[in-house]
Amino acid sequence: MMNTTKQTRREWLTMATVAVAAPMFIPRTVFAQGTRPGANERIGVAGIGVGRQGAPVLSNILRDSRTVGICVCDVWKKRAEEIAAKHQIKDAYQDYRKVIERKDVDAIMTATPEHWRSLICVAAALAGKHLYIEKPITLTIEDGKLMRAAARKTGVKVQCGSMQRSHRINDLACRFIREGRLGKINEVRCANYESPWLYGMSADPVPEDLDWNMWCGPVEPVPFNKELFVPRGKPGWLSFRPFSGGEMTGWGTHGFDQLQCALGKDDSGPVEILVEGDKLVPPVFDKPTEKKVGDELCAKPALSFKYAEGPLVKLNWDVPWNSGQRGGAIFFGEKGTVEIVRSGMKSDPKELAEDYWKENAEHRLPSHEADWINCIYDGKTPIGEMETGLRTASICHILSIARYLGRNLKWDPAKEEFVGDAEANTWLKRDHRKGFEI
């Protein structure tokens, strides 16, 4: 059940935002001390996982005058303390549960490796704390269902970190296609995102103040290696299956997110995955190796998918893995083609979208972080809500499963399970290590 005080506070804030032109922020203690403004007028924010991606996102959130930093959490104590000091935050933890327990934390930004996503988010949502979740929003289909159930139970506002949705040009480009300005879409091409491979590297000395057991968390512990501890390196945790979905979820969640948005499929998904070639037997990397070596091996077999109503989507757009073009797609319609990339769009013929840009010259969006904060106050739905993030991540997961199994698969987007394939359905869930269950 949602905390009664928090629910009342949300309702008051919603009314206050409507009632005045400039938002008026009240202290959490308002119901004990009347309507007198006080020092605690802002949303109490915590950061869990403040590395390469989490640190800048947390900074963006805390730049908003409506927020105040309460605490920071990271399994590497040194990093947690450095980020806390940067924002003049007193408390830094290594155990996320200490953050969840705090009554003065209203909202949490989490950008841990993917294997930690669901455990933290379910606990936070059930504690009534709003969530900004770095993409991909989940590591498995079943974990995603639990995250959705927890967020719906308490009504917290969830923003998935698919920040291209808040880029003006991406928003307009997706609307252009969704409104039928390109005519019927006959085909879409996305990048050929790579599935993850397996980890077998030897141990390096564990850095001082790093809780490696906690870093492994729900996954059975493996030896620490400095090339595992970074997201992208030689190759980095993002490339290994126990901890991530590879570039299929790394870049794929950006590209498929734009695809889903443009086609109006945010609450649905494909119905069939098509596989061309032999199944992927993921290699085991036992020493630091250039990322591109594994990516080349794990980009096969070729994949495509179909919607119940809509175009065939092929993963055959040849663009570099570190290119912003991987964050979009090419749409082939009756009236021409549109290419959407990160913060960019072009059409052929080029005049195709000119009138649309003129019509929407004044169109503006708040930042992804500001949109989330706005929704906490006004009760509206974030532009990158949990459902859109889950549906996008689901595409990534079922594509990699088809690649590992090496056969065509039918998918039921309503039930979120494969049709008539018991073996494939066993891949929808991963057991959590004892002590780290949801």
Both 173 and 161 in one domain: the answer is no
Residues 26 and 108 in one domain: yes
Tell me what pLDDT residue 93 has: 98
Domain annotation covers residue 15: yes
CATH number of the domain within which 16 lies: 3.40.50.720
CATH of the domain at 241: 3.30.360
pLDDT tens-digit profile of 34-86? Answer: 222 233 579 999 999 999 999 999 999 999 999 999 999 999 999 999 999 99
25-39, 80-94, 149-163, 327-341: least confidently modelled range:
25-39
Give me the number of domains the chain comprises: 2
Assess whether 184 and 152 both reside in one domain. no
pLDDT of residue 250 exceeding 90, the answer is yes
Q: How far apart are the first and last CA of the chain?
A: 17
Residues 172 and 78 in one domain: no
* pLDDT at position 319: 86
Same domain, 44 and 145: yes
Query: Do 175 and 160 reside in the same domain of the chain?
Result: no
* Domain membership flag for residue 191: yes
396 and 309: one domain?
yes
Q: Give the end of a domain, one of 165, 198, 233.
A: 165
pLDDT value at residue 41: 73
173 and 122 belong to one structural domain:
no
Write out pLDDT tens, residues 418-431.
999 999 999 999 99
Choose one of 126, 148, 165: the last residue of a domain: 165
Residue 288 within any structural domain of the chain: yes
Q: Is the domain of 319 the same as that of 351?
A: yes
Q: What is the pLDDT of residue 347?
A: 93
- Does 433 map to a domain? no
pLDDT digits (tens, 9 = 90+) for 4-36: 333 433 333 333 333 333 334 443 333 222 222
Mean pLDDT of the chain: 90
Domain finish residue from 125, 143, 165: 165
The reply to whether 105 and 196 lie within a common domain is: no
Say whether both 196 and 291 belong to one domain: yes
pLDDT at res. 321:
74
User: Residue 82 falls within a domain, yes or no?
Assistant: yes
Residues 317 and 214 in one domain: yes
Residue 141 has pLDDT above 90, yes or no: yes
Asked if the peptide bond before residue 235 counts as cis, ω within 30 degrees of 0, the response is yes
Q: Is residue 411 part of a domain?
A: yes
Sorting pLDDT into bands at 50, 70 and 90, what band is 109? very high
265-324: per-residue pLDDT in tens? 999 999 999 999 999 999 999 999 999 999 999 999 999 999 999 999 999 998 887 777
Q: Is residue 379 part of a domain?
A: no
Q: Could you read off the pLDDT of 169-197 as tens digits, one per residue?
A: 999 999 999 999 999 999 999 999 999 99
Lowest-confidence range among 20-34, 103-117, 145-159, 262-276? 20-34
Quick check: pTM over 0.85?
A: yes
Assign 105 a pLDDT band (cuts: 50, 70, 90). very high
Domain that holds residue 141: 4-165
Give the position of tokens 């061309």: 276
Percent of the chain whose pLDDT exceeds 70? 91
